[in-house]
Amino acid sequence: MLSRCSKFTMVAVFSLSCLLFSAISYGQEKPAPGSETGKQEKPKINPSKIILEHVSDAHEFHFFNYSNHPVSIPLPVILYSPAKGWSVFMSSAFKHGEETYNGYRLLEEKYVEENKLDEKIYKPGKIVAVDASGAPDASVKVYDLSLGRNAVQMIISVILLIWIMSRIAGKYAKGQGVTTAPTGFQNAVEPVITFVRDEVGKSNLGKRYEKYMPFLLTVFFFILINNLIGLLPGTANVTGNIAFTAVLGIISFVVILFSTNKHYWGHIANPPVPFGVKPIMIPVEIMGIFTKPFALIIRLFANMISGHIIILSFIILIFIFGAMNTGLGWGTSPFFIALAIFIYLIEILVAFIQAFIFANLTAVFIGQAFEGSHDEHAHEPGHHDDAVIV
């Protein structure tokens, strides 16, 4: 019951924050000076830019706007320029892109459009050096080493994960959960660890599962905690960032390669197929070495970013209909909010599923690496063919 209440509370806060933020974004502008009609004109809605702004990295955690003032948490800005040296300050010094600071400017979409800057060079959200007049100076090279919200949130996730697991490990060290029944949060985590051990480790790696359990459990819980934190309003969608999933995929790739043996490479160099087919199968087998981590990278990235995009799309539809007709906007809002809440609840489930799939597929690929033979591995109890895992 408590879990259900917490879920609905999160959904309510998420929906409210989306509405508050979007209401400011799509609010009516003041009439231009000298306007003959004197009527307020509504700005055109660009869904793609709004969605990309929400799912991309930023120099602050933005929650909503209140009385045209953004409510956000600024993050550290760390810049290096060969001409200016090091500069370290908080992103709030830019006043949300409205002002320059220490010879730098945080480019906002409005500023780029008003000054007709090339968005391929001057991307919104990028920090650039400016000249005495405040215009971007392309001749000054700037290296941005700032801690964006993706990096900060990942650090928070690491600290939180270490803290949770250390507390649970401390309880086991004292005998709780060993000689006595587990207590507190230990009750929730122990079944998950047991599930990963039995369904991911033992079923795919056989007798060698203990060697890989620290890695598999770390990957599972690290992805899970980032998935769940990313569902909170105002936070970053870290697992929906291709750089994040790429690093995880590369780490898994390295582990897979270090788990190989001569039978594995022999299978690739001399696949058990008729001689005439070998010239075709050898390149395919070599390509298969790299497609496995690539599948891990794309699967996690695509699944986590798609849910956020769908939720934002439903919220934006309210304002698209509202721009056509105020009554239509208000009338359709309950329907689209209900759809957004439904997808949000599914995303909570997806957060667990994607963490499991990444760990499970990694275990499958590791198992294939040290077995080296699809035929031998297929006869092992509990073997899963990666082709059937979606």
pLDDT digits (tens, 9 = 90+) for 142-158: 898 998 899 999 999 99
Per-residue pLDDT for 294 more than 90? Answer: yes
User: Could you give the CA distance from residue 175 to residue 350 in angstroms, rounded to a whole number?
Assistant: 34
What span, in angstroms and rounded, lies between the C-alpha atoms of 242 and 244? 5
Distance of CA 202 to the CA centre of its chain: 29
Provide the β-strand partners of residue 69: 66
Percent of the chain topping pLDDT 70? 84
Sheet holding 104-106, edge to edge: 100-101, 104-106, 127-129
> pLDDT category, 270, cuts 50, 70, 90?
confident
Rounded to the nearest integer, the mean pLDDT of the chain is 80
364 pairs with which residues across the strands? Answer: none
pLDDT (0 to 100) of residue 253: 94
- Token pair for residue 278? 């070998």
* Average of per-residue pLDDT across 192-205: 91
pLDDT at 14: 46
Report the SS3 class of residue 72. strand
Of residues 382 and 263, more confidence is placed in 263
Length of the chain (residues): 390
For residue 1, pLDDT over 60 is answered with no
Confidence of residue 382 (pLDDT cuts 50, 70, 90): very low
| pLDDT surpassing 50 at residue 3 | no
pLDDT of residue 4: 47
Which residue in the block uniquely carries the two structure tokens 């439903």? 314
Q: How confident is the model at residue 16 (pLDDT cuts 50, 70, 90)?
A: very low
CA distance 24 to 77: 26
pLDDT in tens, 29-65: 444 444 444 445 556 777 777 777 777 888 888 887 7
Q: Does 119 score more than 60 pLDDT?
A: yes
Please, what is the angle between helix 209-229 and helix 242-258, to 10°?
180
Torsion angle in degrees (nearest 10) through CA of 375, 376, 381, 382: -60
Please give the residue that has the higher pLDDT: either 375 or 259.
259
Instruction: Report which of residues 350 and 381 the model is more confident about.
Output: 350
CA distance 33 to 204: 70
Residue 291: Cβ within 10 Å count = 11
Tokens of 212: 């890989």
340-378: pLDDT as tens digits? 999 999 999 999 999 999 999 999 999 888 865 444 444
**Residue 265: predicted pLDDT:** 86
Question: pLDDT value at position 235?
Answer: 87
**The residue type at 291:** T
DSSP single-letter state for residue 42: P
The residues pairing with 71 across neighbouring beta strands, listed in sequence order, are 64
Q: Looking at residue 43, what is its pLDDT? A: 61
Q: Shortest CA distance to 113 belongs to which of 101, 128, 124?
A: 124
Locate the domains of the chain by residue range: 76-146, 149-388
Residues in contact with 109: Cβ distance below 8 Å, sequence separation at least 6, in sequence order? 49, 53, 124
